[in-house]
Amino acid sequence: MEQTSSSQNKAKILEYRHISSATGDIVKYIRDRKYKKTKSLATRWKKFNNIAMGGVEPNCIYTIAGISGSGKSSFVNTLETDLIDLNSDEEIVVLSFSFEMLSSRQIGRKLSYKMRKTTSELYSASDKGFMSEQELEVVQREADKIKRYPIYYVDTPGNVQEISETIKFFQSVIAKDKWLVVILDHTLLIKGSSNSESERSIIVELEKVLISAKKVGRTSILQISQMNRNIESPERLNNPSLHYPQRSDLSSSDAVFQASDYVIIIHRPEILGLLTYGYNNLPTKDMIYLHFAKNRDGESKILKFINDLKHNNLIEPEEVAENSAQQKIELEN
């Protein structure tokens, strides 16, 4: 039986396939997952992996959203190198459209985490004084390691067509036969093809491009999106039942939400002056919450993290408990 169309009839008929072909694909995928021939890219966060089918999946779009200062860029910056470090059995290439921040500053954040120094300390801009010569040597050693990563940055904002062509080039040339992770920071900084093009129409076209791109080979897409100011309104702040982010809080929410396989909203209620969060009175001091507002193959969940953004990191609470227990054992011994 013919599985796909043998001819597209000069582009008048879209490509089609019989259900038996699609069925064979999903059975193969299930079998390959069972025998670990196919897997997701693991992250450092166990609970994230458990909710998101093992980590970052191929052929999926992840939207990471949040208000300014919530930590969304740090979260994705962490994934850039983690996905490579924690999945050494996979050949991975990262294409990062770093429109909001210079790529050199992205490297600064990685050094901040690796050296357990704030970027202010790293840049000799804190009251602790200038870095020592020994510390500079450590910076150089860590930088020599970082520069070997297969990560490529695009600093200059482009329009949707330019982004599309760049992704296609990487899929067919730089990352051919490899796992391509595309990072876009962020959606509101994309240029229009003309001065009259609206922000909404730009994002709608972008999401169409990303949906097509994710279906090619093994491509995972992480896009950062901004939230609007609704969550900061007095009505929301004064009503615990309205504290949690909602779908309508996303900028151009319909297009982004529909295109995404996962919508993850990072929220720091502490920066809004909230002492407790939501109707469950969750703690806010030094806490960050990840709301899985959309999970195409699973449940919506809220994950709790401890804020370590000064070192460009999020810490799972269990890590703190484990470290404390280990320190206690060391002291007793």
Mapped onto helix, strand or coil, the DSSP state of residue 293 is strand
Assign 1 a pLDDT band (cuts: 50, 70, 90). Answer: very low
Picking from 70, 94, 66, the residue whose alpha carbon sits closest to that of residue 80 is 94
Averaged pLDDT, 98-125: 84
What's the CA gap between 181 and 220, in Å, rounded? 5
Averaged pLDDT, 118-127: 82
Please report the pLDDT score of residue 294 as a whole number: 92
Assign 5 a pLDDT band (cuts: 50, 70, 90). Answer: low
What's the CA gap between 320 and 299, in Å, rounded? 26
Residue 36's region, left for phi above 0, alpha for psi from -120 to 50, else beta, is left
- The single-letter DSSP state of residue 15 is -
Res. 53: pLDDT tops 50: yes
- The model's pLDDT over 71-109, given as tens digits with 9 standing for 90+, comes to 888 888 889 999 999 999 999 999 999 887 788 888 888
| pTM, 2 dp | 0.85
> Considering all CA atoms of the chain, what is the largest pairwise distance in Å, rounded to the nearest integer?
77
Residue 290, burial from CB neighbour count under 10 angstroms (0-12, 13-18, 19+)? buried
- The model's pLDDT over 232-258, given as tens digits with 9 standing for 90+, comes to 999 999 999 999 998 888 876 688 888
Please report the pLDDT score of residue 299 as a whole number: 81
